[in-house]
Structure 1
Amino acid sequence: MPYVAPEQIKRAKQMDLLTYLQYYEPQELVHFSGNVYTTRSHDSLKISNEKWCWWSRGIGGRSALDYLIKVRGMTLPEAVMRIDGQAVVVPPAPSKARETAGPKKLLLPEKNQSNDRVVAYLKGRGMHSALIDYCLQTGRLYESRYRHNAVFVGFDPQGVPRYGALRGTSGSRFMRDASGSDKRFSFSIPAREKSTKLRLFESAIDLLSYGTLDLLAGRDWRQENCLSLAGIFKPKKNIMESTPPAALMQYLKDYPHITEIALHLDNDAPGRLATKTIETLLSPLLIIFDEPPKQGKDMNDYLKIVLGIKLQKEPDHYSL
């Protein structure tokens, strides 16, 4: 294995990826739009403002050294050699093969014979029957047999259920994910026609609330793609060390034509912090709009205000 000196590593870390590709691998560099570039080998890898992110793998960095190690699979000495061009050979050391985890097995609750309680619950929160019917007919929503919870189902691009969010319908604040849920494929509703815009929400309830507001305003509620984050996104203390939500990154990987994101996250402190973090991390690569609810804490609050439904604080206990 090659050996490189500390000063060589220091020099290599100073080169950003765009500069490296321009000088060493210009055939690999592809202009995407504006100041954003991608690579010929990986079209989900975007480069902008001296940063890069490989959406399909959920990794990113700043330097060319990071890219050569994380994307190209080089060892640190090999990557430094590629950039700095000098090395001394030493005997190879044994390495351990990485173990890859198998796919999760999703265990959704058994379906009830009817969806009456779920329909009544959602209508009580202001949801329009057209949206409820669409979700029932497409398998995105059903009522569980034993607890009569609302079950919101998320699918992968092949139409395979990969995620389930359970929500209590009897006045309790019961919320949890079905066993084996993969948050990368959370509840979503695609645009009727191909759209370059994605609307992002904290929950399925907020997503359906926004769709209802669109419908009531006479707009096509499926004009753009809509995605739930399956809960609150909690960034790290240092925003730049955070990774965007898994569901969002997976959606951008699966639908690379998306160029705009509208953030409809809550008006509370966690929602505002999540919005700021996503804007900071993704604004160099995508057009970001901050569109929180005009009134109330979240989109469902705003819908209730528009419809004149009294806002009620949900119970703090959880029912199993």
Structure 2
Amino acid sequence: MMLKQKRRFTDEQIASANSVNILDYARNSGYELKKMSRNSFKIPKYGGLYIHSNGEKWYWFTRDKGGGVIQFVMEMEQKTWVEAVKQLLGLLNEIVKCEPDNKVVEEEKGELILPEKNSTYNHMIAYLIKTRKIDKDIVYDFIKQKKIYENKYRSCVFIGYDKEGIPRYASYRSTNTQGKTYRGDVENSDKSFPFGIIGKSDTVNVFESPIDLMSYLSMIKLYNINNFKNHCISLGGVADIALERYLKEHQTISNIVICLDNDKAGDLGSKRINEKFNDQYVINRHVPKGKDFNEDLTKLVDIVDLRLKNNNEIEEEICL
């Protein structure tokens, strides 16, 4: 007797995911849209990637690929079909559904309300320092700057501010080390305001996540590099909307160091940044040895700890 397998999504959920407008999704994800005709928009520098003006279908001429919004997310963000549907279902409240006479209009965001703080930061601190191996002083420095805190669900909250010091962007990441992890952006976040640190040099280092940024700073400290004064920002993914704003607000920057993940999404994001900004900035890419800089950091800390342990054991033998 065959057991009926439980479906991951209902027909209604799949229909809802498919109803997300591709133009709205692309704009909310930071892609540049250029109107080419009454019936089409183009994402520049993507080798003939066109989206129909009704937002229901797309076609990429150089790759001979196309389809609906699910296929668009799969191709642009290197996601599986299941991951793409989950992504779209999670954004239904933020992205407009397809309408016959849809116009690409920037939606006004409501007020950003930061998640309620927990009575203790112990779970966040333990997660960042013990699990992620981020340097203790760096963690506490970000806490003092009110750029990270723990919410009532014991998750890490990372904040991006505007020039006036007003929070405009916030993302969260669960601190559990087992089971399902939760991450995302707080409602009404503006991804153009990045989490990061303002530097004193003419260079900005660009990361996908706050944890990668903090990991990179920790590695700089481990290698005893004392003159690192670069700007560092997190994009909250691979879309370059935060970088674009940051460069406009810090016009002394002339160099970009791309520090995105060592995977397909990171490669795609790096390529897009290079194509978009290489006529105005000197661009280099620092590729992590592992998937990302937190993976590199954890391996480096383990090596350092092992060497310290071995040295201590040698010293004890000498004393004996």
Do the structures match in fold with TM over 0.5? yes
The percentage of counterpart residues that share the same residue type is 33
Name the counterpart of 2:54: none
Distance 2:207 2:106 in 1: 31
Name the counterpart of 1:128: 135
Distance 2:245 2:166 in 1: 15
Compared with structure 1, are the counterparts of its residues 104 and 184 closer, same or farther at alpha carbon in structure 2 (3 Å cutoff)? farther
Distance 1:104 1:188 in 2: 23
Matched, 1:214 2:214: no
Matched, 1:180 2:174: no
Compared with structure 1, are the counterparts of its residues 110 and 59 closer, same or farther at alpha carbon in structure 2 (3 Å cutoff)? same
**Residue 188 (structure 1) shift:** 1.1
Matched, 1:149 2:143: no
Distance 1:210 1:128 in 2: 10
Size of the aligned set, in residue pairs, is 201
- Superposed CA offset, 1:137-172 (max 9, x none): 010000001x11000011011111001010000123
Q: Could you tell me which amino acid in structure 2 is paired with residue 195 of structure 1?
A: S
Compared with structure 1, are the counterparts of its residues 303 and 221 closer, same or farther at alpha carbon in structure 2 (3 Å cutoff)? farther
Greater relative CO, 1 or 2 (CA 8 Å, sep 6+): 1
Distance 1:223 1:195 in 2: 6
Compared with structure 1, are the counterparts of its residues 101 and 280 closer, same or farther at alpha carbon in structure 2 (3 Å cutoff)? closer
Distance 1:175 1:220 in 2: 33
**Residue 220 (structure 1) shift:** 3.4
Compared with structure 1, are the counterparts of its residues 168 and 59 closer, same or farther at alpha carbon in structure 2 (3 Å cutoff)? closer
- C-alpha contact 1:104 1:182 (8 A) present in aligned 2: no
- Superposed CA offset, 1:187-236 (max 9, x none): 11112xx2211000000010000000001111238611000011133xxx
**Residue 59 (structure 1) shift:** 7.4
Compared with structure 1, are the counterparts of its residues 120 and 274 closer, same or farther at alpha carbon in structure 2 (3 Å cutoff)? same
Larger Rg: 1
Distance 1:181 1:131 in 2: 25
**Residue 103 (structure 1) shift:** 4.9
Distance 2:283 2:108 in 1: 34
Name the counterpart of 2:55: none
**Residue 186 (structure 1) shift:** 2.0
Compared with structure 1, are the counterparts of its residues 101 and 266 closer, same or farther at alpha carbon in structure 2 (3 Å cutoff)? closer
SS at match of 1:153: strand
Distance 1:214 1:268 in 2: 22
Superposition map of 1:64-103 within 5 A = 102-103=108-109
Matched, 1:299 2:293: yes
Distance 2:160 2:257 in 1: 20
Q: Could you tell me which amino acid in structure 1 is paired with residue 287 of structure 2?
A: P
Name the counterpart of 1:288: 283
- C-alpha contact 1:214 1:221 (8 A) present in aligned 2: no
Moved over 3 A (4+): 58-61, 98-104
- C-alpha contact 1:106 1:162 (8 A) present in aligned 2: yes
The equivalent position to 1:253 in structure 2, one of 248, 254, 279, is 248
Distance 1:99 1:268 in 2: 32
TM-score (norm 2): 0.59
Distance 1:217 1:228 in 2: 22
SS at match of 1:261: strand
SS at match of 2:192: helix
Superposition map of 1:1-320 within 5 A = 102-123=108-129, 124-145=131-152, 147-171=153-177, 172-191=180-199, 194-220=200-226, 223-233=229-239, 245-293=240-288, 295-308=289-302
Distance 2:120 2:227 in 1: 26
SS at match of 1:185: coil
Distance 2:33 2:300 in 1: 42
Name the counterpart of 1:93: none
Q: Name structure 2 gaps, 5 residues minimum.
A: 1-30, 35-103, 304-320
Distance 2:121 2:173 in 1: 13
Distance 2:106 2:182 in 1: 33
Q: Could you tell me which amino acid in structure 2 is paired with residue 154 of structure 1?
A: G
Compared with structure 1, are the counterparts of its residues 160 and 221 closer, same or farther at alpha carbon in structure 2 (3 Å cutoff)? farther
Name the counterpart of 1:39: none
- C-alpha contact 2:109 2:188 (8 A) present in aligned 1: no
TM-score (norm 1): 0.59
Distance 2:215 2:184 in 1: 20
